């Protein structure tokens, strides 16, 4: 019993020496009491040093252990360490590994992580770039069923399988958007504006923009300009949505002297409506 208490004290002293507070230690033990049974020399210290390598500070390593202690439990310890090293050896940047440790530590408990890494790389994503992290999260942290449902949703609106993959390669975040958001944007774009859904493949970050605060106000301006013959019919439909607000207003509102007052009023009314919805806690699509 005394030996057990002594081992516990040694572990407490180790965490205190790394900057952990008493409350940190209590939280760590509360979240995963089995850490008291883990070898300090063989597991806790090597794991702590591994986390510190990627998270850079002892404090962040301690917080990671507290928030995700079950992901680093005795049963998954070796798999976690192996997968962290695997991801690093594969060429994934330290910042991306750190981001997964902070937000998606369960990915390091995967027994087929190499398969997912190779799949994402095979799609053309560079492991050293930030887009690889987004693509891996979309492919690994989403069930195949949900992935297929999202692909089917895009296809329902006229996209092909190839179009989905090609667009995903341009903007992997598009597959992290909810099915409801995809349908809302597509319905507005196709049914209300009468525009071709394939135009959205040219600027897939559209699916990450706010429908109410960006897409709807700008779309109505562009639609008006097209109806009045003030914008060429073959001009890109999506380019106006990629500009900053200041540049958009300059190019698509203030540059049309005779119509600028009406256009600005139309734009401001839609923006006011969007913020009113937000402030009133109404359903809002970001």
Is residue 286 domain-resident? no
- In this prediction, residues 217-237 reach a mean pLDDT of 95
- In this prediction, residues 116-123 reach a mean pLDDT of 96
Q: How far is CA 169 from the centre of its chain?
A: 15
End position of a domain, from candidates 106, 140, 174: 140
Identify the residue with better confidence: 177 or 286: 177
**Confidence at residue 2, expressed as pLDDT on a 0 to 100 scale:** 47
Residues 178 and 136 in one domain: no
> Residues 126, 98, 92, CA angle at the centre, nearest 5°?
20
Q: What digits encode the pLDDT tens for the residues 148-199?
A: 999 999 999 999 999 999 999 999 999 999 999 999 999 999 999 999 999 9
**Confidence at residue 274, expressed as pLDDT on a 0 to 100 scale:** 80
- In this prediction, residues 35-56 reach a mean pLDDT of 89
Identify the residue with better confidence: 117 or 278: 117
Q: Name the band, by pLDDT with cuts 50, 70 and 90, for residue 4.
A: low
Cα gap 185→109, rounded to integer Å: 35
Range of the domain at 136: 2-140
Most confident region among 18-27, 32-41, 155-164 by mean pLDDT: 155-164
Q: Name the band, by pLDDT with cuts 50, 70 and 90, for residue 1.
A: very low
Residues 12 and 30 in one domain: yes
Residues 109 and 211 in one domain: no
Q: Structural domain tally of the chain?
A: 2
Residues 193 and 261 in one domain: yes
Neighbour tally for 207: CB within 10 Å: 22
**Torsion angle of C-alpha atoms 112, 118, 121, 122, degrees rounded to 10:** -130
- The model carries a pTM of 0.84
Is residue 285 domain-resident? no
Residues 153 and 188 in one domain: yes
- Residues 127 and 121: beta-carbon distance below 8 Å: yes
3: left (phi over 0), alpha (psi -120 to 50) or beta: alpha
Is residue 181 domain-resident? yes
The answer, yes or no, to whether residue 242 has pLDDT greater than 70, is yes
**Confidence at residue 277, expressed as pLDDT on a 0 to 100 scale:** 65
**Confidence at residue 159, expressed as pLDDT on a 0 to 100 scale:** 98
**Confidence at residue 278, expressed as pLDDT on a 0 to 100 scale:** 62
Is residue 177 domain-resident? yes
Two structure tokens written together for 26: 């209590």
- In this prediction, residues 95-99 reach a mean pLDDT of 95
End-to-end CA distance of the chain: 56
Residues 90 and 152 in one domain: no
DSSP per-residue letters across 172-241: GGGGGS-HHHHHHHHIIIIIIS---GGGGGG-GGGGGS-IIIIIHHHHHHHHHHHHTT-S-TTS-SSHHH
pLDDT averaged over every residue in the chain: 91
End position of a domain, from candidates 105, 140, 175: 140
Residues 232 and 106 in one domain: no
Q: What digits encode the pLDDT tens for the residues 243-261?
A: 999 999 999 999 999 999 9
Residues 116 and 167 in one domain: no
The answer, yes or no, to whether residue 3 has pLDDT greater than 50, is no
Residues 54 and 182 in one domain: no
């Amino acid at each position: 019993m005394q030996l057990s208490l002594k081992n516990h004290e040694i572990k407490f002293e180790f965490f205190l020496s790394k900057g952990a507070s008493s409350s940190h230690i209590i939280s760590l033990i509360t979240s995963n009491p089995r850490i008291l049974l883990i070898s300090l020399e063989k597991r806790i210290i090597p794991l702590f040093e591994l986390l510190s390598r990627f998270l850079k500070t002892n404090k962040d390593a301690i917080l990671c252990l507290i928030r995700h202690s079950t992901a680093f439990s005795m049963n998954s310890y070796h798999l976690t360490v192996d997968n962290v090293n695997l991801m690093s050896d594969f060429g994934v940047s330290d910042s991306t590994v750190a981001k997964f440790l902070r937000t998606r530590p369960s990915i390091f408990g995967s027994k087929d992580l190499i398969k997912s890494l190779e799949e994402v790389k095979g799609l053309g994503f560079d492991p050293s770039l930030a887009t690889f992290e987004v693509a891996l999260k979309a492919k690994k942290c989403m069930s195949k069923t949900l992935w297929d449902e999202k692909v089917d949703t895009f296809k329902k609106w006229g996209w092909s399988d190839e179009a989905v993959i090609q667009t995903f390669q341009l903007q992997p975040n598009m597959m992290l958007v909810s099915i409801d958001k995809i349908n809302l944007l597509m319905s507005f774009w196709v049914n209300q504006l009468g525009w071709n859904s394939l135009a959205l493949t040219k600027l897939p970050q559209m699916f990450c923009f706010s429908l109410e605060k960006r897409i709807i106000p700008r779309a109505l301006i562009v639609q008006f300009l097209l109806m009045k013959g003030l914008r060429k019919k073959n001009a890109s439909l999506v380019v106006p949505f990629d500009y900053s607000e200041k540049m958009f207003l300059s190019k698509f509102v203030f540059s049309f002297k005779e119509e600028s007052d009406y256009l600005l009023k139309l734009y401001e009314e839609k923006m006011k409506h969007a913020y009113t919805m937000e402030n009133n806690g109404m359903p809002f699509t970001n």
